[in-house]
Amino acid sequence: MPANPILRLKSVQKVFGRFTALHDIDLDIEEGEFFTIVGPSGSGKSTIIRLLVGMDELTSGEIWLRDKRIDQIPANLRPTCMVFQSLALFPHMSVGQNIEFPLKLRKIDPAKRKARAIELLELLHLPESYYDKRVTECSGGERQRIALARALAFDPEILFFDEPLSALDYRLRKSLEKELKDLHARTGKTFVYITHSLEEAMVMSDRIAIMKSGRFEQISDADEIYSRPVSRFVAEFMGEVNLFDVTAVDGQIKGTGLIALPSNATRTIADQITAARGATLMIRPEYVQFLDEGQAADFEISGRLNGIYALGSRIHYEIKTEGGQILTVEKLREDRHDGSEGDTVRLGWNADCAHVIEEAPFEGRIA
């Protein structure tokens, strides 16, 4: 955790009637960090952002900005700004007037307002000629940049984003993900971003918080969460995954149809499983290999090739094991497997690619 966070949530709880949307949330966000909260619908991520910007009141707990408690300060007096999914631009105003709007509310001199607006147009890669252009004449991507310029106009300490790219088409969304990451680097601002898109979170973020049922399930960087999830929920939420319910007896790993060849590596994993008193063994599809005759791996399993799907640069394979489990394997197009649907195949992977997930419930661990 950061030693001197810019933003701190302490035991934050939000209750609506008999429903608890947030359960005693604790969170520290570092200054200059791109922090993303991601989770399925109803997980509590939108509730958090509404509390942070002052649109809702806490049921209990505290929100601190550096050394100042802000949860009791009205939204319009907080040194923060929000970029909404709808963007909330004024259609009857020009681009320049939209960007200048927060400065006008603060009674900044018109000449200074215009200079700041033009400076922000340049920062957001929009030509100065757009200053007098109508917002309604701008494309979706341009309107997104205008909303960002308006959010930056009054130099807020933190920018909050509520799924700002969700309404855009795929190609534009991918382009703006990179632009947002670049903008974050150039401004040095603290970004707190809400999304349901795991891909957005992984592309842009310094750290990601995975939410489930009003709690943080895991908080860390994308690589850590992808490679070493703390729960089955996180493992499955972070993309395609193969999971095995396993036990270990006298150093031998047991799972339906799973063969663990004795080695120092598999014995280490067996010790982890024994300590957890029942666990889940995780392997991502890209680490699973098709084994030829004579080849061996730390873990092996057999099955029938059930489906082959082309995904652009990758090929996705589905294998139904003898125990009835569906496993997934992904290969780059140039490394495709030569088999056909219906073939019996043998799969394997090495122990250093596997990860043991303890079945005990998550208890607030933050990486």
- Percent of the chain's residues with pLDDT above 70: 97
Q: Is the pLDDT of residue 276 over 90?
A: no
* Domain positions in the chain: 7-227, 241-358
Return the CATH superfamily for domain 7-227: P-loop containing nucleotide triphosphate hydrolases (3.40.50.300)
Of residues 255 and 327, the one with the higher pLDDT is: 327
130 burial class (0-12, 13-18, 19+ CB within 10 angstroms)? buried
- When pLDDT is averaged across residues 341-357 and rounded to a whole number, the result is 94
How many Å apart are CA 197 and CA 163, to the nearest integer? 9
- Lowest average pLDDT, out of 14-23, 179-188, 248-257, 357-366, goes to 357-366
| Tokens 């270990």, residue located | 248
Residue 159, phi then psi, degrees to nearest 5: -110, 130
Q: Which pLDDT score, from 0 to 100, does residue 323 have? A: 84
Q: Which pLDDT score, from 0 to 100, does residue 359 have? A: 59
Q: Are 42 and 36 in contact (CB under 8 A)?
A: no
Q: Is the pLDDT of residue 149 over 50?
A: yes
| Greatest C-alpha distance within the chain | 79
- When pLDDT is averaged across residues 172-195 and rounded to a whole number, the result is 91
Predicted confidence (pLDDT) per residue in 7-34, tens digit:
999 999 999 999 999 999 999 999 999 9
Q: Which pLDDT score, from 0 to 100, does residue 249 have? A: 85
How many Å apart are CA 14 and CA 56, to the nearest integer? 9
How many Å apart are CA 218 and CA 38, to the nearest integer? 10
Q: What angle do CA 146, 147, 148 make, to 5 degrees?
A: 90
Q: Is the pLDDT of residue 362 over 70?
A: no
- When pLDDT is averaged across residues 341-355 and rounded to a whole number, the result is 95
Of residues 358 and 167, the one with the higher pLDDT is: 358
Question: What are the DSSP calls for 37-55, one per residue?
Answer: EE--TTSSHHHHHHHHHTS
Return the CATH superfamily for domain 241-358: Nucleic acid-binding proteins (2.40.50.140)
Residue 39, phi then psi, degrees to nearest 5: 175, 170
- When pLDDT is averaged across residues 276-281 and rounded to a whole number, the result is 84
Tokens standing for residue 171: 């190609």
- When pLDDT is averaged across residues 139-161 and rounded to a whole number, the result is 89
- The pTM is what? 0.87
Q: Which pLDDT score, from 0 to 100, does residue 365 have? A: 36
Amino acid in the structure at residue 198: L
How many Å apart are CA 99 and CA 116, to the nearest integer? 9
- Lowest average pLDDT, out of 170-174, 204-208, 261-265, goes to 170-174
Q: Is the pLDDT of residue 170 over 80?
A: yes
For 66, the 3-state DSSP assignment is coil
Computed over every residue of the chain, the mean pLDDT equals 90
Of residues 277 and 338, the one with the higher pLDDT is: 338
Radius of gyration for the chain, computed over Cα atoms and rounded to the nearest angstrom: 25
Q: Which pLDDT score, from 0 to 100, does residue 77 have? A: 86
Q: Which pLDDT score, from 0 to 100, does residue 105 have? A: 85
Q: Is the pLDDT of residue 174 over 90?
A: no
Q: Is the pLDDT of residue 3 over 70?
A: no
- When pLDDT is averaged across residues 104-123 and rounded to a whole number, the result is 92
Q: Are 66 and 216 in contact (CB under 8 A)?
A: no
| Strongest mean pLDDT among 2-6, 57-61, 140-144, 255-259 | 57-61
Q: Is the pLDDT of residue 300 over 60?
A: yes
